[in-house]
Amino acid sequence: MDTVVRSRSKTVVIGAQQPFCVIGERINPTGRKKFAEELKNGDLSTVLVDLENQLAAGANMVDVNAGIPLVDEPELLASVLTLIQENSDVPICIDSSVIEALEAGLAVYDGKALVNSVTGEDERLEEILPLVARHGAAVIGLANDETGIPETPQQRLEIATKIVNAAGDHGIPPEDVVIDPLAMTVGADTEAVTTTLETIRLIRDELGVNMCLGASNVSFGLPRRHELNAAFLPMAMAAGLTSAIMSTAQVCVDSVRGADLLLGHDAWGAAWIAEHRARQAALAT
């Protein structure tokens, strides 16, 4: 089952037999005080810097969030999306919890976006899914609901199933629903990652839909976060994860691309070898 997203001129396919889809996480003011202040003041220059750096590092898509307190988020998100589309052909994951911001973002997006996100809460499903359907977008569905984040993989599977079924009721096919099995920090719960991995396996086996999660969550509060994220991603890929909103630090991207080769998603290592040669050529100049 493949999930297809598009910009005006570029297509990205997310699927179990496809190379892993790296969605750059950087264009997000959360935890970035200086960036948030720039955005408040209408300065979008860092957006372009982050965009260029993530694409150069190997991102297939970028996640874009413009959620800042006391700012007109719909207007800001639309401005950021317009700027990115003027300067690249990368497909975009439009990230907001505000319905009006999602509406504004989808209105200016040229292509088939990935909307981040909807939960299993009845109210959110009824608010967001019609919007996704109207714009012909794909959507990330988080496996939590009114009761919070489920503790067990089976409970997360049940909510994921509810989201897929609700999407179908709105005319959104399963291939356009990407489930987030929820990555929690192992620093707060030693079983967090094993629970996520089992959830991924269950969703793969029972629903067969694509999956995406915030990979950097697993290392929150711990030292050497990039190394921990890089260790987690191949395990998740082997369990069935097909995309992630993640850091594009070299160790993380290299880990994903190495896993692509080892899992049979990079035939004869063509992409791995090409990247190696490109790096050698860059060092020689």
C-alpha 285: how far from chain center: 34
Q: Mapping DSSP to helix (H, G, I), strand (E, B) and coil, where does residue 3 land?
A: strand
Kindly report, residue by residue over 187-229, the tens digit of the pLDDT. 999 999 999 999 999 999 999 999 999 999 999 999 999 999 9
**Predicted confidence (pLDDT) at residue 282 exceeds the cutoff of 90:** no
Structure tokens at 15: 């699927």
Kindly report, residue by residue over 83-123, the tens digit of the pLDDT. 999 999 999 999 999 999 999 999 999 999 999 999 999 99
Mean pLDDT of the chain: 97
Q: What is the pLDDT of residue 124?
A: 97
Sheet of 21-27: strand order equals 177-180, 138-142, 114-118, 92-95, 61-65, 21-27, 243-246, 212-214
Q: Which segments of 136-269 does DSSP mark as H helices, in order?
A: 153-169, 192-206, 225-239, 250-262
The pTM of this model reads 0.96
Q: What angle do CA 240, 252, 26 make, to 5 degrees?
A: 100
Q: Mapping DSSP to helix (H, G, I), strand (E, B) and coil, where does residue 209 land?
A: coil
Structure tokens at 250: 């070299």
Q: What is the pLDDT of residue 167?
A: 98
Residues in the chain, overall count: 285
Q: Which amino acid is at 211?
A: M
Structure tokens at 44: 């979008």
Q: What CA–CA distance (Å, rounded) separates 156 from 143?
A: 5
Q: What is the pLDDT of residue 285?
A: 82
| Per-residue b or e along 158-176, where b marks 16 or more CB atoms closer than 10 Å to that residue's CB | bbbbbbbebbeebebebbb
Contact 111, 5 (CB under 8 A): yes
- How would DSSP label each residue in 235-253? HHHHHT--EEEE---HHHH
Kindly report, residue by residue over 256-266, the tens digit of the pLDDT. 999 999 999 99
Query: Which H or E run includes 118?
Result: strand 114-118
Query: Which H or E run includes 53?
Result: helix 45-57
